Amino acid sequence: MKILVTGGAGFIGSNFLNLFVPKFPEHTFINFDKLTYAANLLNLKNIDGSSNYIFKQGDLDDYNQVEKIFRQYQPGLIVHFAAESHVDRSILGPAEFIYTNIIGTFNLLEACRNNWDAKEGKLFHHISTDEVYGSLGETGKFKEETRYDPSSPYSASKAASDHLVRSYFKTYNLPVTITNCSNNYGPYQFPEKLIPLMILKALNNQKLPVYGKGENVRDWLYVEDHCEAIWQVVTRGQKGETYNIGGNCELKNIEVVKMICTILAELQGLAPDYYNKLITFVKDRPGHDLRYAIDSKKITKKLGWNPRETFETGLKKTIKWYLDNSDWLNSVQTGEYKKWMKLNYSAN
């Protein structure tokens, strides 16, 4: 099978490729990625050179480039990770989110519609987020049937792309599956998202900016557990269906930040509260969703998937990875990165 993976140089896509390229030599994986600020080819150094792995730089926003990839490789499975993925960036500049997340997904769907004459054995798998459901109160969990109610330009653009994917199933009978997952963490995550940002800032002895009172809750999912769930869906999922994927691990942001401080200190032989003094409460994010939590019963019941990692084991692995990969961490801190930090955090 030829598998077209979009956004495979980003955080989740590169974990997916690092897991499955060596495991399935019978499949060819084509990684199509624009290489935005969030991408890093260093993420893929372990598989670069593998005979079943091909990298193509390209932009989903340009239909001609997408069509060319289809003509050249005739992929039968699309695993669509590529997106602009950071909520804070979508608040400061939503345009890219509309182009990549909506138009980019549309172009990919069109390429499938135009190139897949026989639909047997084909699949378009769309990776989405629980943020399309909006915010939960103190109780309840997101189910696959929960009404869409996105709060940020990011989640609105993902909601639009989910609707497009479903419409291609209903209208054109295009074989599709969708997964909506909770917050991922693990190796290769760009340090603009909460967990790697806090690790990096602590290592640099900088303030750890916690939005509002740190009471917002996220349901943390270890990235490799997420990738295994995606593999189950693309190989055994029902066409036209949506599966929610969660880590079964709800925590307040302040709890997460304190755990990072404790583990980081422990791994470096420092006093347990060494980093806690850096925690700083800053101005809240506008439209900040209070709580996300996923009900994963459907994927567990239908496909037998369960997360393997607990937050303690996953977080420890993650922090160790960042400590052991200081070259990677240095490589992402470009001038652009420094500009972003200044823009987003200087007013706080």
Report, as residue numbers or ranges, the catalytic residues.
130-131, 154
Binds ligand TYD (CB under 6 A): choice among 66, 112, 210, 227? 210
Cβ atoms of 36 and 28 within 8 Å: the answer is no
214 in Cβ contact with 276 (< 8 Å): no
Residue 194 within binding range of ligand TYD, rule CB under 6 A: yes
- The SS3 of residue 288 is coil
Residue 34: which of ligand NAD, ligand TYD, none does it interact with, CB under 5 to 8 A by kind? ligand NAD
State yes or no: residue 122 binds ligand TYD (CB under 6 A): no
Question: Which entry of ligand NAD, ligand TYD, none binds 181, CB below 5 to 8 A by partner kind?
Answer: ligand NAD
Q: Which amino acid is at 310?
A: T
Distinct helix (H) and strand (E) counts, the chain: 13, 13
Residue 190 binds what, of ligand TYD, ligand NAD, none (CB under 5 to 8 Å, by partner type)?
Answer: ligand NAD
Binds ligand TYD (CB under 6 A): choice among 89, 218, 226, 291: 218
- Can residue 184 be called a binding residue for ligand TYD (CB under 6 A)? no
Site string for ligand TYD, 164-183 (x = CB under 6 A): -------------------x
Q: How far is the CB of 226 from ligand NAD (least distance, A)?
A: 8
Find the shortest distance in angstroms from Cβ 181 to ligand NAD.
5
Cα separation of 320 and 264, whole Å? 8
Would you report the helix, strand and coil content of the chain in percent, each value rounded to 5? Answer: 45, 15, 35
Q: Which amino acid is at 249?
A: C
CB of 345 to ligand TYD, least distance (A): 7
Q: Which does 82 bind (CB under 5 to 8 A by kind): ligand NAD, ligand TYD, none?
A: ligand NAD
Least distance to ligand NAD, CB of residue 307, Å: 14
How, if at all, do strands 123-129 and 77-80 pair?
parallel
By CB under 6 A, name the binding residues for ligand NAD.
Answer: 6-7, 9-13, 33-36, 38-39, 59-61, 81-85, 100, 104, 127, 129, 158, 181, 183-184, 190
- Strand partners of residue 208: 279
Pick 119 or 288: Cβ nearer ligand NAD = 288
Contact 204, 268 (CB under 8 A): no
What's the CA gap between 50 and 21, in Å, rounded? 8
How far apart, in whole angstroms, are the C-alpha atoms of residue 52 and residue 209? 42
Sites for ligand TYD among residues 237-296 (CB under 6 A) = 253, 285
Q: Interacting stretch for ligand TYD, rule CB under 6 A, among 1-9, 43-51, 206-214, 311-319?
A: 206-214
Tokens (6 digits) for 324: 């052991």
Q: Which is nearer to ligand TYD, 86 or 126 (CB)?
A: 86
Task: Say how far apart CA 47 and CA 72 lie, in whole Å.
Answer: 21
What is residue 291's DSSP assignment? B
CB 150 within 8 A of CB 166: no
Residues lying near ligand TYD in the complex (CB under 6 A) = 87, 183, 193-194, 197, 209-211, 216, 218, 253, 285
